[in-house]
Structure 1
């Protein structure tokens, strides 16, 4: 499917309408569909569902999933919320790191995707999207995320994403003792600066603000200095620990560590999802 593709929209009473995709966002698997009225129809004002917020959604809350699995229209299943904030890295789906998911035990199958996840007040709290390989674990995009994406699709025809990690263009991981132990077992990042904390840069996107500031894989950010009310295109100063090669001695492993201050300029440039994917 792509923007402009045609489809058939079937209402709950079986009436069918011609529709087309107004706009589509592949990373979040969301789209805005426009329905064409039939010439013989009188104008209809369709009822709409009330959108809720995820602020008060808690584990244990009852929810209802509505969809059309296997072509069975208006199928309703019920369950409880296990988590209100699952990231795509946890569930292995989607390519937008900003989209978070609700985990429930509602039964969701192919054909349920796109249907609403509703609380007991009849308000939409999520949009059903996928399930785990086993029954009893399904996921829905949080409505707070979904409405932001839908608003951009409706008004701009696309979703504008800034560079990942505070518009800086790099991926970072908190340098815990467990992460340090794992990284030491890997090839290109076996040399870790001797610091007790900070975040380690695991990848840098080409032409990103971090790349322009010469931040590199393996650098550890140990401090950030910025003014209150940070504005776009304002430099942010990082204190970075990085390895500096010295003359190689007999064992070939001699290195020293140096602390440097690096300025990275916050930029409004758009993150190119098609070029960089999810950055993993």
Structure 2
């Protein structure tokens, strides 16, 4: 998982990587300070010269107000005179009762209804009630004794709770937990020689078949393979297995190992990366930072993402699956799975913002996996012949300004490109109808084919746009 510099020309054999970008730096925020105009002068003490003056009338001294004259109490009305010849009337009212006293009925009183006689309980029910009360008393005592025993047997005085023994979800519920349970037995940790140390490198892998073949990344075991150094495969139970390299491909960053005593190793189910869509959930397995049997999940962020890692003869070009599932150093070679528990890719690289000297970059949510279709083709070649092959057309290309494609800089004699209508100076803008913007896009698009295929190149030659068909030839690597 190293950063590379893709500024130089690229060919079918040795293209280059991406330009370096400086890491993002952040500055700390400053504490909030109270503005000076909001600070009261003199602290909390009130200044004497800021007290308002006593109130004074704007009109000078007010004269005293004379008291109001005494009011004369009202006099009773004088008795009204009577006139001759007019009869005097006086309203007659019934006698008043004292306040709160009941008002007697005006006419006849209604007698109260007779009280109903109280129902009597039959005598035969009393024995039955006594028997029921006795049974309830016995049952309550038994229940109380049971709860007391459970309380004494549990720790901390908590009532005993029965633990769940069944699985919380069915086996085919397509959850991350179900996929982890299914695929972890097929995921392994790989420890190999690196930097002169027997256990200098750690990576991941998965069991490919019942014969004990394990798939991993080439960069995990490359140094051990060149030095014939030790390689250990550690299964989920922590059992160490000695392994040897069957074959590897630096071009596709893949390697096939053979494990001794593989009777207890469980092969992983194989799915299809071509059927996956952007946004679908995926699960990454491996041993990030040597933490074995780790599981992370995310989604597919993009498909058919051209990615180049390494440089020189170790440069790899991947038509990658991009995911935001956490992938860190040590995840290399581990499986990327769908929600059916099938492997759809091999974790291979991550994008980073740059790391200090001697340090590796960490996850920023952009990881890349090799599609399982390419893994199967390369693994089949290695298992049949011990070597891997990749297709080329026989040209060297270089990116153009503005991302307008890749210019043909050289055509190798005796290759399919030499026998086609392709010329030096042509700018390749598409491969099989898919737009390309730089040399990496061209190389990845060509190496995604089989050596028996033919590709159609769209090229610009001056003011003309041409479509040229070119065959492929196999190279080992």
Q: TM-score, normalised by structure 1?
A: 0.63
SS across alignment from 1:149:
helix
Q: 1:60 to 1:266 in 2, by over 3 A?
A: closer
1:136 matched to which residue of 2? 365
Q: Which structure shows the bigger proportion of residues in helix conformation?
A: 2
**1:81 counterpart (294, 300, 311):** 300
Q: Per-residue displacement from partner, 1:20-64 (whole Å, max 9, x unpaired)?
A: 111111122110001123xxxxx7253211110122201111111
Runs (5+) with no aligned partner, structure 1: 38-42, 174-178, 184-198, 223-231, 243-256, 274-280
Q: Contact (CA 8 Å) 1:54, 1:142: kept in 2 or not? A: yes
Q: Contact (CA 8 Å) 1:88, 1:95: kept in 2 or not? A: no
- In the alignment, the residues of structure 2 paired with residue 50 and residue 31 of structure 1 have an alpha-carbon distance, to the nearest angstrom, of 19
Matched, 1:67 2:286: yes
- In the alignment, the residues of structure 2 paired with residue 221 and residue 136 of structure 1 have an alpha-carbon distance, to the nearest angstrom, of 32
- In the alignment, the residues of structure 2 paired with residue 45 and residue 214 of structure 1 have an alpha-carbon distance, to the nearest angstrom, of 56
Q: TM-score, normalised by structure 2?
A: 0.39
- In the alignment, the residues of structure 1 paired with residue 469 and residue 274 of structure 2 have an alpha-carbon distance, to the nearest angstrom, of 33
2:327 matched to which residue of 1? 108
- In the alignment, the residues of structure 2 paired with residue 5 and residue 69 of structure 1 have an alpha-carbon distance, to the nearest angstrom, of 22
Q: Which has the higher contact order (CA 8 A, sep 6+)?
A: 2
Q: Contact (CA 8 Å) 1:102, 1:140: kept in 2 or not? A: yes
- In the TM superposition, structure 1's runs of 4+ consecutive aligned residues that sit over 2 Å from their partners are 1-6, 91-97, 167-173, 179-183, 199-217, 219-222, 238-242, 263-268, 270-273
- In the alignment, the residues of structure 2 paired with residue 113 and residue 221 of structure 1 have an alpha-carbon distance, to the nearest angstrom, of 33
Task: Determine which structure has more spread, i.e. the larger CA radius of gyration.
Answer: 2
Q: Contact (CA 8 Å) 1:209, 1:267: kept in 2 or not? A: yes
Matched, 1:49 2:268: yes
Q: Contact (CA 8 Å) 1:32, 1:153: kept in 2 or not? A: yes
Q: Which structure shows the bigger proportion of residues in strand conformation?
A: 1
Q: Contact (CA 8 Å) 2:425, 2:461: kept in 1 or not? A: no
Deviation at 1:202, TM superposition (A): 2.4
Alignment of 1:1-280 (within 5 A): 1=223, 2=225, 5-37=229-261, 44=263, 46-88=265-307, 95-97=315-317, 99-133=318-352, 135-163=364-392, 167=393, 169=395, 171=397, 201-207=407-413, 208-211=415-418, 215-219=422-426, 241=461, 266=471, 268=473, 270-271=474-475
Runs (5+) with no aligned partner, structure 2: 1-222, 353-362, 430-451
